[in-house]
């Protein structure tokens, strides 16, 4: 299929873009009366990966607003302040009278829903001697900041501060695909990595409610789909848009405009520097189903110069980001510590929380969450396990935790020479099936 703006949106599941005719303010009032639904039920520890178990801390959550001043705005073609809404999870002091909160949002077609949380809204930040590293969480196009709330809560329970971004112009509540289907995509290309870097700088260098608790020198990054596209750039994987790909993914045909956009898009490390210079705070990243590799949108030399440890996660049937494209990113990345986790028979929806009831009335909505061959709960638990392994090993530099990343290529415990292979480290016998693992040799 040729790269054209028409074909970009041809597939029904591509990039999570669907008709939406709601307004953010209306969503808040509509969601206020919803009863939160529980998406997870308890499972025996024997069937859950070891690092998917909750940590020692209670978890607080707070919604904050950040403003990145004087940024180029695609829609107005002017410079204006870019506002971001961020959900922050953190280790918390919780009293017995507190009750867990909920997360409210809308499906791709605008149906409101509410999800039961394990975190406590606006509870106090724990008063601890240690400081907690930051992890930035970045959704796809379109999405919302709590799409991977299970990772945010989980890492916070293990001693991290997690900041999940609502990427402006790129959320379910903003993109009206029916009337303006491509309205948020150019902004997404330009801002995904910039938002990630800005949130890192804001939370580690400014006076915020978690300022006294945050480790200002160590951070991790987790991005899904377009969030993964941004994450690779944030670590130094410079974009390599050509006139053809610039025109295809922006819808612009005028050669002068294409040239200007190409220069704007071809940034390195979030566009914060003229040359490749990655913020040293980034110690590890997880790129889940990262988009862009299938279209060669990254500079090969820059990928080879990436040094930050990174875990790529993909389904081998990914029909949005393309498995071959994700493998090429893994193979070209120069990091000494790099890994590729593959879910066999999975497509693109390997990261979202399970579908809420509101999404189960149509393929358009449930297609944001549903994996035909996998349980979302199994995927979520496995993502929690490996995300924590990456952060513990490479951000906190806990050497004993690196064993969870030292795995055999196949998880299926196949019998060889009449001997059944051992399960992957952290998985119980019989419960590590359907996955493959690659690491730098």
- Give per-residue pLDDT as tens, 318-371: 999 999 999 999 999 999 999 999 999 999 999 999 999 999 999 989 999 999
Least confident of 31-45, 111-125, 304-318: 31-45
What's the mean pLDDT when you consider all of the chain? 90
Helix-helix angle 243-250:255-265, to 10 degrees: 90
What is the predicted pLDDT for the residue at 9? Answer: 36
What is the predicted pLDDT for the residue at 418? Answer: 82
- Give per-residue pLDDT as tens, 372-427: 999 999 999 999 999 999 999 999 999 999 999 999 999 999 988 888 899 999 99
Rounded Cα gap, residues 352 and 51, in angstroms: 19
Instruction: State the architecture of 5-439 in CATH terms.
Output: 3-Layer(aba) Sandwich (3.40)
137 with 72: CB under 8 angstroms? no
- Give per-residue pLDDT as tens, 222-274: 999 999 999 999 999 999 999 999 999 998 999 999 999 999 999 998 876 66
Question: Using the 8-state DSSP alphabet, how is residue 130 labeled?
Answer: S
What is the predicted pLDDT for the residue at 178? Answer: 57
Share of the chain above pLDDT 70, in %: 90
What is the predicted pLDDT for the residue at 203? Answer: 97
Rounded Cα gap, residues 118 and 393, in angstroms: 25
What is the predicted pLDDT for the residue at 31? Answer: 57
Q: Is the pLDDT of residue 17 over 70?
A: no
> What are the two backbone dihedrals, phi and then psi, of residue 68, each rounded to the nearest 5 degrees?
-95, 105
Of the candidates 383, 280, 382, 371, the residue with the CA atom closest to the CA atom of residue 320: 371
- Give per-residue pLDDT as tens, 131-170: 999 999 999 999 999 999 999 999 999 999 999 999 999 9
- Per-residue pLDDT band at 15 (split at 50, 70, 90): very low
Q: Is 267 helix (H, G, I), strand (E, B) or coil?
A: coil
Tokens of 392: 């513990």
Share of the chain above pLDDT 90, in %: 81
Which residues sit opposite 120 in a β-bridge?
A: 60
The domains of the chain are located at 5-439
381 with 374: CB under 8 angstroms? no
Rounded Cα gap, residues 367 and 107, in angstroms: 10
Q: Is the pLDDT of residue 10 over 50?
A: no
What is the predicted pLDDT for the residue at 234? Answer: 97
> What are the two backbone dihedrals, phi and then psi, of residue 433, each rounded to the nearest 5 degrees?
-95, 160
Sequence-distant (≥ 6) Cβ neighbours of residue 97 within 8 angstroms: none
pTM of the model: 0.92
Q: CB-side exposure of 100: number of CA atoms within 13 Å?
A: 15
What is the predicted pLDDT for the residue at 19? Answer: 28
């Amino acid at each position: 299929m040729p790269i054209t703006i028409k074909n970009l949106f041809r597939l029904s599941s591509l990039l999570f873009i669907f008709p939406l005719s709601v307004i953010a303010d209306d969503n808040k009032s509509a969601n206020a009366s919803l009863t939160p639904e529980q998406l997870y039920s308890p499972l025996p520890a024997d069937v859950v990966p070891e690092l998917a178990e909750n940590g020692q801390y209670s978890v607080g959550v707070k919604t904050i607003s950040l403003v990145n001043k004087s940024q180029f705005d695609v829609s107005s073609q002017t410079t204006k302040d870019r506002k971001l809404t961020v959900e922050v999870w953190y280790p918390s002091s919780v009293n017995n009278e507190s009750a867990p909160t909920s997360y409210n949002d809308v499906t791709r077609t605008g149906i409101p829903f509410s999800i039961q949380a394990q975190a406590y809204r606006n509870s106090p930040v724990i008063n601890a001697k240690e400081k907690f590293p930051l992890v930035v969480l970045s959704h796809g196009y379109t999405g919302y900041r709590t799409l991977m709330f299970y990772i945010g809560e989980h890492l916070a329970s293990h001693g991290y501060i997690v900041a999940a971004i609502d990427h402006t112009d790129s959320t379910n509540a903003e993109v009206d695909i029916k009337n303006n289907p491509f309205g948020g995509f150019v902004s997404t290309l330009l801002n995904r990595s910039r938002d990630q870097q800005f949130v890192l700088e804001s939370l580690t260098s400014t006076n915020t409610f978690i300022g006294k608790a945050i480790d200002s020198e160590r951070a991790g990054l987790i991005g899904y789909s377009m969030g993964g596209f941004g994450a690779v750039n944030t670590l130094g994987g410079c974009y390599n848009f050509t006139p053809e790909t610039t025109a295809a993914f922006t819808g612009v045909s005028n050669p002068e405009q294409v040239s200007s956009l190409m220069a704007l898009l071809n940034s390195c490390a979030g566009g914060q520097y003229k040359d490749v210079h990655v913020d040293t705070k980034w110690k590890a990243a997880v790129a889940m189903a990262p988009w862009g590799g299938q279209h060669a949108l990254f500079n090969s030399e820059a990928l080879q110069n990436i040094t930050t440890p990174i875990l790529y996660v993909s389904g081998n049937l990914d029909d949005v980001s393309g498995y071959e494209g994700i493998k090429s990113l893994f193979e070209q990345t120069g990091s000494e510590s790099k890994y590729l986790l593959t879910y066999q028979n999975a497509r693109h929806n390997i990261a979202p929380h399970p579908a809420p009831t509101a999404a189960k009335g149509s393929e358009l909505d449930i297609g944001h969450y549903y994996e035909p061959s996998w349980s979302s709960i199994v995927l979520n638990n496995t993502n929690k396990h490996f995300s924590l392994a990456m952060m513990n090993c490479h951000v906190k530099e806990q050497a004993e935790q690196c064993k969870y990343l030292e795995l055999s290529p196949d998880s299926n415990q196949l019998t060889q020479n009449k001997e059944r292979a051992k399960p992957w480290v952290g998985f119980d016998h019989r419960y590590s099936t359907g996955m493959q693992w690659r690491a730098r040799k």
